[in-house]
Structures are given as structure tokens and as C-alpha cells.
Structure 1
Amino acid sequence: MPGPSLLDDPLHAGIAWSRYWRLMRWMSALTILCVILALGFLYYMHGLVSIHMYIAAAGGVGFALLLTSALMGLVFMSSGTGHDESIDDPISKGISPDD
């Protein structure tokens, strides 16, 4: 039987989710800064080429940074609340570290 997680308690879950969304707000601001810097670097290196290149670069940099931030934020939240330890893993129970 899996043990209880702090995310099962509404108070702790609310605190964890508020920390997650605070992290995402900061990372969104950092992402906008990185997109502006990337577009500035592209303009400096290549000049005014095509608007499609700048749109694709902004979308690619923005998407990659926000997706990475969201997934890492969920990993931090899961680990920080003890949700990772509350699972029941029948496969790992039979494995010895000496094998």
C-alpha cells in the first residue's frame, strides 16, 4: 500500500503549487529575456534575413526553455513534497544492491 504524500493534503498542495507557479513566472521572464538576446544575436550575425527565421527562432527558444522549466519544476515539486517516496514499487523490493 502506498504511503501518504504531502500533495494529498490541500494545504501542502496549495503551498507546493504556489511555489511551482512562482517559479514559472520567474522562468517566463527569463525566457523572454533569452528570446530577446537570441534574436539580437541573430540580427547581429546575419542582419535582416527573413521574418520567418526570427519567428522560428523565437518560438524554438521560447518553447524549449518553457518546456524545460515546466518539467523541471514538476520534478522539484514531486521530490520536495515527498510524492516520489509515497509510491509502491513492487519491482524494486526484490532487488538487492549487492547483486
Structure 2
Amino acid sequence: MSRPSPLDDPDKAAFAWARWKRMMWLMGGFTAVTVVGVLLYLWATVPEVSIHFYIATALGVGLSMLLMSALMGLVFMSNGTGHDESISDPHDRRD
């Protein structure tokens, strides 16, 4: 049987989600700066390309970075709150 998760407590869950949202705002800003940097680099080094190239690059880099940030943030939140420890493994010999 699984143990209760620390995220079942509303105060701990609110703190964890607030920390995750703060991290996502930070990573959103970092992503925006990175996308602008990549676009400036491409504009300076790759001559005469379509505007669609820049749009695709911005969307590809930006969405990839935001998705990776969100998923890694959820991993950190799950581990940092003790949610991972509350899961029981039927193959674990310690239980």
C-alpha cells in the first residue's frame, strides 16, 4: 500500500507549486533571452534567408526549452517534496 504523499497537504502543495511557477517564470525569461540571442546570431551569420526560417527557429528553440524546463521542474518538485518516497515498489525487498 502506498504511503500518503506530502503533496496531499494543501500548504506543502501550495509552496511546491509556487516554487515551480517561480522557476518557470525564470526559465521563460532565460528562454526569451536565448531565442533573441540565437536569432541575432543567425541574422548576422546566415545571409538572405526567409522570415519563415527565423519564425521556425524561434518556435523550435523556444518551445523545446520551455518543455524541457517544465518537465525537469516537475521532476525536481516531485523529488524535492518527498512525493517520490511515498510510492511503494512491489519489487522492493525493504518493505
TM-score band, normalised by shorter chain: over 0.9
Runs of 4+ residues over 4 Å off in structure 1 = none
Give the TM-score, by structure 2 length. Answer: 0.94
What is the CA distance between 1:94 and its match in structure 2? 4.4
**Could you say which residue in structure 2 is the equivalent of 1:66?**
66
- CA offset at residue 50 of structure 1? 0.3
Whichever residue aligns with residue 86 of structure 1, its letter is S
2-side partners of 1:9 and 1:44: how far apart? 52
Q: Where does structure 2 lack aligned partners over 5 or more consecutive residues?
A: none
- 1:52 match: 52
Which residue does the alignment assign to 2:89?
89
Aligned length: 94
Query: 5+ unaligned residues in a row in structure 1: which ranges?
Result: none
* Structure 1 match to 2:26: 26
1:36 alignment partner in structure 2: 36
Give, as a single letter, the amino acid of the residue that structure 1 aligns with 2:86. Answer: S
CA displacement, residues 26-64 of structure 1 (integer Å, 9 cap, x when unaligned): 000000000000000110111341011000000000011
TM-score by length of 1: 0.90
- 1:21, 1:48 → 2: CA distance? 39
Q: Percent identity?
A: 54
